[in-house]
Each structure stands twice: as C-alpha cells, then as structure tokens.
C-alpha cells in the first residue's frame, strides 16, 4: 500500500504539492448510497483556508473543491470519489531564496536526503497546504458517520504557555467563531496576545489541540497492533508539526496510581458507563462507549522572520530570515485537520468493526 494512502476499508489517497497545479485526493471504500451535501464539504474547507484574520498566512486560496467521480444523482455510488482543489495563489519566486539553504527544523534537508531531489517551491509536498485534502475527505467521512450519531470536535486548548483549563465541551460554532479556534473567551484573549507578541518579534508559537469523539459504539479498534489509540496516534502524528499525542488523562497516567485512575463500570438506566473517564473512552485499545479524548501537541512553525543561523547546501553557515507567507502558529489551522484525521480513522474502524468483530452470524 502506498504511503500516501490512509485507511484499510475507508481509504484516502492524497496527492499534490504546494506549487503544482492542484492538490487532491481519492476516497476509495465509502459505502454506496450516501447522500452527500457538497456545500457542507466546501464549508469545512473554508474553515481551514489560510488568509483569515491576523494570525493566518496571507496566502489567498479559494480552495474550491471539484468532485470528479463517484457521485451520481447526489449519492455515492461505491466507486472511488476523486476530488481536486486547484492551487491558485502560487508565488514560486518567493521561494528562490530557499533553494540552496536548509531551514532549521524544516523538511528541506530530509527531503533532499530521502529523494535526492527537492521541490523547494512552498515546501512542495511538505506544505501544510496538503492538509486541505484531508479536511475535504474528513468532511465526507463526517457525513457518513453522522448517520450513526458519531461526532468529532477539536479546538485550540493551548497556544504557547497559555492553556485553557475549562473542562466544558464547547459548541462547534463557538470554536469556529474564534479566529484562532479557541472557544473560551478568556483564554482566547490571552492566546491572541501571546501570538501578537511573537508575531511582532518575527517568531512563532506552538500549542495543543484537544479532540473529542462522541457517540462511538463500544468495540471499535483492534487488539494488539491496530488499537484505536494506536491508529489515532498515527493519524494525528501524520499532521505537520505534531510532536506528541496523549489520550484521556494523558501525563497524569505516568504519575498517578491505579486506585486513582481506574474507571469503574456502572449501569445507569440500562446504559453501561464508567463513573470517571480518565481512560478517554479507550480501554485495551478498544472503544468502551465513553467519549474519546486526545491532546495533540504541535511545535511552532519553523519558518520565522527572526534571523536564524543555519547551513547552506554547500555546508556554509548563514543567517536566514524567512520572508513569505507563514502562520505564527499552526494550531488554529490544525484544528480542522485534527478533526479530519479522527473522522477518517473512525470511519475506517467503523467499517472494519461492522465486519469482523461481529458474531459469525454476520
């Protein structure tokens, strides 16, 4: 299986570079007969789009999706759904300065070592632009999963040192009403201040995205290697700039004892629930019917205006100050991508489970 494909039954194959004519994807395995609302897919793409507000790269892209196949009379046919998102606002000349230098903590050096060739325009395949493809595919997976009452929501929980401590689950509208995808007004304000300060300094911030999956039936995920948390971890770590992922109570699991952290079962009105949900909805790698919670840690974008010492292709030390269009923090634009990757992983497990795990009387 190619490494640009995600999923076993509900599969997305992604393609495209920042400065080629288009990016796009092929979804293979979406069940037939799903009535698609294409307007909602475009809407989700609009939420990821750059050029929105003070803390987003000014690259202007309309990100208009074109669906090429797999839909007939508004419904999925069971055949591959291919889609394109044309690149409109390429400015390759912006990148000439980067042709012969390796940006610190960037893809430049490793692509060159890996492939012996590098499309340096806008970081080529390593560009965050590629994540638009995931958002489009995730939007489709969302419509598939909604039928079964499964929902995914993510938001900015931390930007730089500013962490939101609310345990509330926000409305999706509130998340996207915030320019930085931080739904809680007080922390949002502080996050913006932090971002503005770094922006002024020509620097950039890291942060954390929180993701919640609601309405999952118990039983999703496979024992041993393909655990639900293993697949989600892979899905999230495949997002540009992700440096870690934590489930449920996260770091607390390292320091606290079983007696404190175990989640006891109880039955209320015929519903199995755990009294607490430190596990974050996953036990032994399998969903237990409670909400899944994950935190994804993102580093700051490595492209900053601030001068940085690094080496050119020829091995000379040089000071690099990166011009061009860059975000001061990946978190706001990562929020819909986190949702998308969760949706794709869950759609795949949902299909796998309605299959193999059932009793033999399938």
Q: Which of residues 193-222 bind a second copy (CB under 8 A)?
A: 198, 201, 203-208, 217-219, 222
Task: Provide the minimum distance between the beta carbon of 251 and a second copy in the complex, in angstroms, as a whole number.
Answer: 6
Nearest distance from C-beta of residue 326 to a second copy, angstroms: 10
Q: Which helix (H) or strand (E) holds 109?
A: helix 108-115
31 phi and psi angles, rounded to 5 deg: -55, 150
Q: Binding of a second copy at residue 229 (CB under 8 A)?
A: yes
Which of 114, 302, 332 minimizes the C-alpha distance to 207?
A: 332
Cβ(215)–Cβ(300) below 8 Å: no
By CB under 8 A, residue 40 contacts a second copy: no
The CB density around residue 131, as the number of other CB atoms within 10 Å, is: 24
Which of 48-56, 166-174, 184-192, 308-316 is the region at the interface with a second copy (rule: CB under 8 A)?
308-316
58 vs 238, beta carbon nearer a second copy: 238
The residue within the footprint of a second copy, chosen from 111, 132, 187, 338 (CB under 8 A), is: 111
Sole window of 44-52, 171-179, 185-193, 236-244 interacting with a second copy (rule: CB under 8 A): 236-244
Give the three-state DSSP class for 100.
Answer: coil
CB of 282 to a second copy, least distance (A): 8
Q: Is 9 helix (H, G, I), strand (E, B) or coil?
A: coil
Least Cα distance to 79 among 71, 87, 89 occurs for 71
Site string for a second copy, 137-176 (x = CB under 8 A): -------x--x----------x-xx---------------
CA distance 119 to 104: 17
Query: If we measure between CA atoms, which residue out of 134, 214, 208, 141 comes closest to residue 171?
Result: 214
- Give the residue, chosen from 55, 287, 332, 334, that forms a contact with a second copy under the rule CB under 8 A: 287
Q: Which of residues 330-349 bind a second copy (CB under 8 A)?
A: none
117 binds a second copy (CB under 8 A): yes
Does 180 interact with a second copy (rule: CB under 8 A)? no
- Nearest approach, Cβ of 44 to a second copy (angstroms)? 19
64 binds a second copy (CB under 8 A): no
Report residue 182 as tokens.
Answer: 């931080």
- CA–CA separation, 342 vs 241, rounded Å? 17
71: number of Cβ within 10 Å? 18
Near a second copy by CB under 8 A: residue from 93, 167, 200, 359 = 359
Using the rule CB under 8 A, is 43 a contact of a second copy? Answer: no
Q: Dihedral of CA 5/6/7/9: which sign?
A: negative
CB 85 within 8 A of CB 24: yes
Segment near a second copy (CB under 8 A); pick from 28-36, 47-55, 170-178, 181-189: 28-36
Residue 77 corresponds to which tokens in the numbers above? 């046919």
How far is residue 18's CA from residue 90's CA, in Å, rounded to a whole number?
8
Nearest to 160 by CA among 55, 88, 263: 55
Distance (Å) of CA 180 to CA 188, 189, 241, 332, 357: 8, 10, 17, 5, 40
Report, in Å, the least distance between residue 173 CB and a second copy. 26
Which range touches a second copy (CB under 8 A), out of 40-48, 173-181, 295-303, 332-340?
A: 295-303
- The pattern of x and - marking residues 241 through 270 that bind a second copy according to CB under 8 A reads -xxxxxxxxxx-xxxxxxx-xxxxxxx--x
Pick the binder of a second copy from 5, 42, 52, 214 (CB under 8 A). Answer: 5
Give the shortest CB-33-to-a second copy separation in angstroms. Answer: 4
CB of 183 or CB of 248, closer to a second copy: 248
Q: Does 289 bind a second copy (CB under 8 A)?
A: yes
* Count of residues that interact with a second copy, criterion CB under 8 A: 161
Q: Residue 151's closest CA among 135, 138, 134?
A: 138
């Amino acid at each position: 299986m190619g490494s640009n494909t995600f999923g076993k039954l509900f599969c997305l194959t992604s393609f495209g570079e920042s400065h080629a004519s288009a990016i796009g994807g092929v979804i293979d395995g979406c069940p037939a007969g799903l009535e698609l609302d294409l307007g909602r897919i475009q809407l989700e793409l609009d939420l990821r789009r750059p050029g929105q507000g003070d803390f987003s790269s000014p690259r202007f892209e309309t990100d208009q999706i074109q669906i090429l196949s797999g839909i007939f009379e508004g419904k999925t046919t069971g055949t591959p759904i291919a889609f394109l998102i044309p690149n409109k606002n390429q400015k390759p000349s912006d990148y000439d300065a980067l042709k012969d230098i390796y940006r610190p903590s960037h893809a430049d050096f490793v692509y060159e070592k890996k492939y012996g060739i590098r499309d340096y325009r806008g970081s080529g395949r390593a560009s965050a632009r590629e994540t638009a493809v995931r958002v489009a595919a995730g939007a489709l997976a969302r419509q598939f999963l909604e039928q079964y009452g499964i929902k995914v929501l993510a938001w900015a929980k931390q930007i730089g040192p500013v962490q939101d401590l609310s345990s509330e689950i926000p409305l999706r509208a509130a998340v996207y009403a915030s320019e930085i995808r931080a739904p809680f007004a007080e922390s949002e304000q502080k996050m913006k201040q932090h971002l503005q300060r770094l922006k002024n300094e020509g620097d950039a911030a890291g942060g954390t995205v929180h993701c919640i999956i609601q309405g999952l039936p118990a039983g999703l995920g496979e024992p041993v290697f393909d655990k639900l948390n293993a697949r989600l971890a892979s899905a999230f770590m495949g997002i540009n700039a992700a440096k870690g992922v934590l489930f449920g109570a996260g770091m607390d699991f390292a320091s606290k004892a079983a007696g404190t952290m175990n989640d006891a079962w109880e039955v209320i009105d015929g519903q199995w629930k755990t009294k607490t949900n430190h596990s974050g909805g996953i036990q032994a790698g399998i969903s237990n019917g409670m909400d899944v919670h994950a935190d994804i840690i993102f580093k700051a974008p490595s492209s900053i205006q601030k001068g940085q010492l690094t080496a050119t292709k020829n091995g000379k030390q040089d000071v690099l100050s990166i011009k061009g269009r860059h975000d001061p923090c990946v978190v706001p634009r990562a929020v819909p991508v986190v949702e998308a990757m969760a949706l794709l992983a869950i759609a795949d497990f949902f299909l796998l489970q309605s299959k193999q795990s059932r009793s033999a009387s399938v």
